Structure 1
Amino acid sequence: MDNFQSADAIRTRFSQAMSAMYQQEVPQYGTLMQLVMTVNERRLEADAGLKNRLSAADELSRLNIERHGAIRVGRAEELSMLRQMFAVMGMFPVGYYDLSQAGVPVHSTAFRPVDDAALRRNPFRIFTSLLRLELIEDEVLRKKAAEILAARDIFTPRCRQLILQHQQQGGLHAEDAAMFVDEALETFRWHSHSSVDSETYHALNQQHRLIADVVCFPGCHINHLTPRTLDIDRVQEMMPSRGIDPKVLIEGPPRRQIPILLRQTSFKALEEPVIFNDGHQGTHTARFGEIEQRGVALTPKGRALYDRLLTEAGSGTDNQQHQQQLARIFRDFPDDEATLRQQALAWFDYRLSEKGQATPPRNGEDLETLIAEGRVIADPVIYEDFLPVSAAGIFQSNLGDKTQARSAGQSSRASFERALGSEVKDEMQLYAERQQRSLQRCGLVN
């Protein structure tokens, strides 16, 4: 027996180390964490049904450790090496997101665990964006950005060595796993010393603030970490009382009885001092804290309805009015589990109750009857992924609240996958397979 550390254990160790580092770098993130924990505790105290449900579905234990982070890289080799780094932690690329349509010159994937047990242990995710250099309009500047990126290595030599060792021997022992986490963390650390002169930084910043963020630093610093809350409206409301300035709008669907997909908000990005390599000093604004509230994952049919209604609702400049408008438009989206299930709008995880274990279902028995009899329990499957419109909204609000209407026109999944060195997994297929496995465990399908 090789006695390697499990990918889940390495992922948990890494996510905790990253959270500790980010709290040191961005102290307001620590304040945000405390606020989210307080709101979650109060929500669970006030709603025993929710607490019991989360506990029975094995969702409660992951709530306080759940995080997602976001990073941005500049070239294909960096993205490919990140894929290999995250594989050590049992995280794989899921979904393709084209943010250029919303004025952000990147396309992205989310590295995350994909199997049920790993998600229960620690569903840590890293939303990873690759800069689309071809969207820099100034040809001279585009070439300069490519040269700057080609000259840097965002991974330590020891980190590269340990990734190779993991690939060759099929795992890492405890000591090497601990070293791997320490070395991997260096890739995501903030550097206040820019790798470019002040003139280059300002020229790239003028093109797009995100381009400057990606190109002008020696690493791909973590630009936000996100705890999960059970009541995002309450967190948004309370942030100012903790000295935190929230972004204007909560992104995503409205507040509902049955939360769907993902709602996100954040505090405004910090203005941080930067020293350029010509000795000039300046400031850089990119890093912030984000909060998310996750709901049930929608089927392709449910997602099509969501996208249509979101487009119809548009966007506002005042959160209260925006949420009221969303709520009006989303009356057309069923808000009870039975209808979501019966109309195949959302994914569910099925399990046998004690009654169902005593009288197991036979193949062919009607699922709705079994649920009504209390023999089968249907738990909503948590949405583990992201929404491109919301991601772009978060990015834009932290790049100065001004939308830069820059559309690339063409989404380019094929070029992204070439850079990545693999295909991205289809999130809808993962949800469908999970629902199917749960039906098989109940004996309802072969």
Structure 2
Amino acid sequence: MAARDVHTDDIRDLFSRAMSDMYRAEVPQYGTLLQLVADVNAATLDANPEMRARLEQGGEVERLSVERHGAIRLGTAQELSDIRRVFAVMGMHPVGYYDLSVAGVPVHSTAFRPIPERSLRRNPFRVFTSLLRLDLIQDPALRAKAEAILAGRRIFTSRVLELVRVFEAEGALTRAEAEEFVREALQTFCWRSDATVDIDTYRKLHSAHRLIADIVSFKGPHINHLTPRTLDIDAVQAGMPGRGILPKAVIEGPPRRDCPILLRQTSFKALEESVVFRPAGSAAVGTHAARFGEIEQRGVALTAKGRKLYDNLLASVRRGVQVGAGGSSAGSYEARLSECFSSFPDDWTELRARGLAFFRYSATEAGLARRAAGEVPMTMDALIANGFLRYDPIVYEDFLPVSAAGIFQSNLGTDEQKNHVGQSNRAQFEEALGIAVYDELELYEQASRASLERAVKQLGLPRLPLIADEQRSMCVSLA
């Protein structure tokens, strides 16, 4: 009997590559987008030797070409619970809770992704996964109808769930089982042009919210975008029209910076695709817009203190300038964004010293060489200043609710920004999921601490302040 020894990282890599091939075949503009991103990344690395060296030190260059994130939208608690089990086979776990009702989008979400550093380096594939908030559908009759429609569908093949149970019982799959699992799991994410509702029902759902129609009207949660990672999203935004792609009016997230933070995203609008609506005994042909292309640029993960500053600055921008339907006021918004964020430090040294961002620490070759001579300083700042210790930004692996909602709105045909009162319900989401989501800030804190523990052990130090912070003093004890 074949050994069940295929690692979850390998299954995730197989799946993400198969997903990319499938989506390229379904949405040809995605292939054009991949080529544009590859060209921009190559030019950026050629023009920035210092950036290349920093990315190589952190193992980022190798993962850049395979990095993708996708997004799906689910309709029921059972679907969310089952997708958690499916993603676990690929070493992907729910990180973070996102309330998209802040932009009037009736879903809440998490991101399934790998967590260990070695897994992120192997393939950092993520799927932003949203669950429909049926409680936010205002019309009781329409809400009941949507619930009944969703209750009657099955989005997974019986075989993929069988293989999930094998994995849960055995802890791994054979190579043949892993390849079959990937083929079966792809069936959940592929596009099907035949709707499960009649055209009148579709229109009612669409009138309530276009996202509701997308979730309720089809056999499964077709992947609605795949997102490559770029090193210069402004260059991609400027280059899209030349490749026959119309970008959204504004890039979501923070402004362009020398030291990128968190996440910046742009996209092209969803394609209008033919759909067959099938009432009893006849069929009607219409269109539906759901699938689009997206690009992201990832920066450093921010601490709770840094995130609070970011959220406050972004809120002030959105209160002052709102982009209208069709992209009006986009220029004013971008100018205001740059102006407000000028107060956010744009220097790695200051970001670390003020405790605004997370960094990964490592002992330098020079520091290790000098350790034998007993020259190792005993303070964090001295270790860094004297070249014993280096620090590199920890990549932000997660998402931003306001940015995600902005991309969703663009996907729905407008760049209009509207601020709504959030209706967060994390407890409801986690009950449907079946487990609590991981706290992304805790994960970054653990990664930073673990890297420093390794470095100071190599340098032979018993105790060292962990991360400079104006508000607290943390220590690592290696006794």
Could you tell me the TM-score, scaled by structure 2's length?
0.91
Give the conservation status (yes or no) of the 8 Å contact 1:103–1:404.
Answer: no
Q: What is the CA–CA distance in structure 2 between the aligned matches of 1:106 and 1:406, rounded to whole Å? A: 15
Q: What is the CA–CA distance in structure 2 between the aligned matches of 1:257 and 1:244, rounded to whole Å? A: 27
Give the conservation status (yes or no) of the 8 Å contact 1:355–1:374.
Answer: yes
Unaligned runs of 5+ in 1: none
Larger Rg: 2
Give the conservation status (yes or no) of the 8 Å contact 2:367–2:387.
Answer: yes
Q: Does 1:269 align with 2:280?
A: no
Unaligned runs of 5+ in 2: 457-463, 465-475
**1:40-119 to 2 correspondence within 5 Å?**
40-119=41-120
Q: What is the CA–CA distance in structure 2 between the aligned matches of 1:305 and 1:153, rounded to whole Å? A: 43
Shift of 1:402: 6.5
**What does residue 214 of structure 1 align with?**
215
Identity fraction in percent: 57
Q: Does 1:168 align with 2:189?
A: no
**1:46-445 to 2 correspondence within 5 Å?**
46-278=47-279, 279-314=283-318, 315-316=322-323, 317-360=328-371, 365-401=378-414, 403=416, 407=420, 409-443=422-456, 444=464, 445=476
Shift of 1:366: 1.4
Q: What is the CA–CA distance in structure 2 between the aligned matches of 1:235 and 1:137, rounded to whole Å? A: 39
Q: What is the CA–CA distance in structure 2 between the aligned matches of 1:118 and 1:151, rounded to whole Å? A: 37
TM-superposition CA deviations, 1:296-323 (whole Å, max 9, x none): 0000000000011111122443444432
Q: What is the CA–CA distance in structure 1 between the aligned matches of 2:398 and 2:49, rounded to whole Å? A: 27
Give the conservation status (yes or no) of the 8 Å contact 2:72–2:129.
Answer: yes
Q: What is the CA–CA distance in structure 1 between the aligned matches of 2:435 and 2:392, rounded to whole Å? A: 32
**What does residue 459 of structure 2 align with?**
none
TM-superposition CA deviations, 1:364-413 (whole Å, max 9, x none): 82112111111111000000000000000000111121659695753100
Question: Residues 353 and 152 (structure 1 numbering): CA distance in 2 closer, same or farther, change over 3 Å?
Answer: same
Q: What is the CA–CA distance in structure 1 between the aligned matches of 2:331 and 2:144, rounded to whole Å? A: 45
How many residues get paired? Answer: 446
TM-superposition CA deviations, 1:75-128 (whole Å, max 9, x none): 000000000000000000000000012100000000000111101111100000
Give the conservation status (yes or no) of the 8 Å contact 1:232–1:292.
Answer: yes
List, as ranges, runs of 4+ consecutive aligned residues in structure 1 with deviation greater than 2 Å: 315-324, 359-364, 402-410
Secondary structure, aligned partner of 1:257: coil
Could you tell me the TM-score, scaled by structure 1's length?
0.97
Q: Which amino acid aligns with 2:101?
A: S
Question: Residues 299 and 362 (structure 1 numbering): CA distance in 2 closer, same or farther, change over 3 Å?
Answer: farther
User: Which stretch shows the higher mean deviation, 259-268 or 397-406?
Assistant: 397-406
Shift of 1:37: 0.2
Give the conservation status (yes or no) of the 8 Å contact 1:135–1:408.
Answer: no
Q: What is the CA–CA distance in structure 2 between the aligned matches of 1:28 and 1:350, rounded to whole Å? A: 40
User: Which stretch shows the higher mean deviation, 324-333 or 225-234?
Assistant: 324-333
Give the conservation status (yes or no) of the 8 Å contact 1:248–1:318.
Answer: no
Secondary structure, aligned partner of 1:126: strand
Question: Residues 402 and 341 (structure 1 numbering): CA distance in 2 closer, same or farther, change over 3 Å?
Answer: closer
Give the conservation status (yes or no) of the 8 Å contact 2:191–2:222.
Answer: yes
Shift of 1:359: 3.2
Question: Residues 124 and 17 (structure 1 numbering): CA distance in 2 closer, same or farther, change over 3 Å?
Answer: same
Shift of 1:19: 0.4
Cα-Cα RMSD: 1.6
Give the conservation status (yes or no) of the 8 Å contact 2:269–2:412.
Answer: no
Give the conservation status (yes or no) of the 8 Å contact 1:83–1:93.
Answer: yes
Q: Which amino acid aligns with 1:442?
A: A
